[in-house]
């Protein structure tokens, strides 16, 4: 999915593609769970994150305890309702993202953040492994002030563990609220439709420090890939 030779800088709004006013049509039901993809989901909570290729990121979430529904799309760009080729061109400013709906009686925002940090490398800038481009940058996009505070605390804690292990600083975009534009239907639950599909997610091999509220988390470092990834 990496596209070589394209710009590694987010374009200005003036330089971005014009897009369209029509929303992307999506399936009524999640291919794996059968739950809706685009509903109000009253009584549930949600998290929106970018962690590289959204095919693999979505798969990390849809089987997690307490997750009701997942969907993929594009955030943090300028072009309204972009298509996948437009995003991959580097001319919309978006990054690939996954939105997760979860049941707070069965899991927590903290647990959702743990999946985010532990399943990609947040130090690589505009890439994940060989997937290079603005659409592969890391980000957390919040829906309220409580999420912002928890995400900021989470990022600081994980950075402390990264620094201790010799990794560079995270390039994860600071938590901010943004609109999600749904990706086309053939990208939703892609790796359930095509289990052998290609998607790279690189992990730094760390588990972040134990928050006071989650005493069951392991406190020891687990470093499984070399420190010192090149800065972008």
Structure tokens at 63: 């089987």
| 3 pLDDT more than 50 | no
Helix (H) or strand (E) holding 109: helix 109-118
Output phi, psi for 102, to 5 deg. Answer: -135, 155
User: Tell me, what's the pLDDT at 203?
Assistant: 57
Q: How confident is the model at residue 118 (pLDDT cuts 50, 70, 90)?
A: confident
Active site residue 53: yes
| DSSP track, 143-199 | SSHHHHHHHHHHHHHHHHHHHHHT-----PBPP---PPEEPPGGGTTHHHH-TT---
CA atoms within 13 A on the CB side of 212: 2
- Given 37, 51, 53, 75, the catalytic residue: 53
Computed on alpha carbons and rounded to an integer, the radius of gyration of the chain in Å comes to: 17
What share of the chain has pLDDT > 90, as a percent?
Answer: 43
Distance CA 133, CA 9 (A): 8
User: Tell me, what's the pLDDT at 185?
Assistant: 78
Pseudo-torsion of CA 6, 7, 8, 9, nearest 10°? -160
In this predicted model, what pLDDT tens digit does every residue of 177-232 receive, in sequence order?
677 888 887 788 888 877 777 676 655 555 544 333 332 333 332 323 323 323 32
Rounded mean pLDDT of the chain? 81
């Amino acid at each position: 999915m990496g596209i070589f030779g394209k710009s590694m800088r987010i374009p200005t709004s003036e330089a971005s593609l014009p897009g369209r006013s029509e929303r992307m049509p999506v399936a009524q039901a999640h291919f794996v769970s059968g739950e809706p993809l685009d509903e109000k989901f009253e009584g549930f909570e949600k998290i929106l994150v970018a962690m590289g290729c959204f095919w693999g990121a979505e798969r990390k979430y849809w089987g997690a305890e307490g997750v009701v529904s997942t969907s993929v799309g594009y955030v943090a760009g300028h072009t309204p309702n972009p298509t996948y080729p437009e995003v991959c061109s580097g001319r919309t400013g978006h990054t690939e993202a996954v939105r997760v709906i979860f049941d707070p009686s069965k899991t927590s925002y903290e647990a959702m953040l743990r999946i985010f940090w532990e399943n990609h490398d947040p130090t690589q800038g505009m890439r994940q492994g060989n997937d290079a481009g603005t659409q592969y940058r890391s980000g957390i996009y919040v829906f309220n002030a409580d999420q912002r505070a928890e995400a900021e605390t989470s990022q600081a804690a994980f950075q402390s563990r990264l620094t201790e292990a010799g990794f560079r600083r995270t390039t994860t975009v600071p938590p901010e609220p943004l609109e999600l534009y749904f990706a086309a239907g053939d990208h939703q639950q892609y790796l359930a439709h095509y289990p052998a599909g290609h998607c790279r997610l690189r992990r730094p091999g760390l588990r972040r420090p134990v928050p006071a509220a989650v005493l069951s988390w392991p406190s020891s470092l687990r470093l499984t890939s070399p420190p010192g990834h090149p800065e972008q």
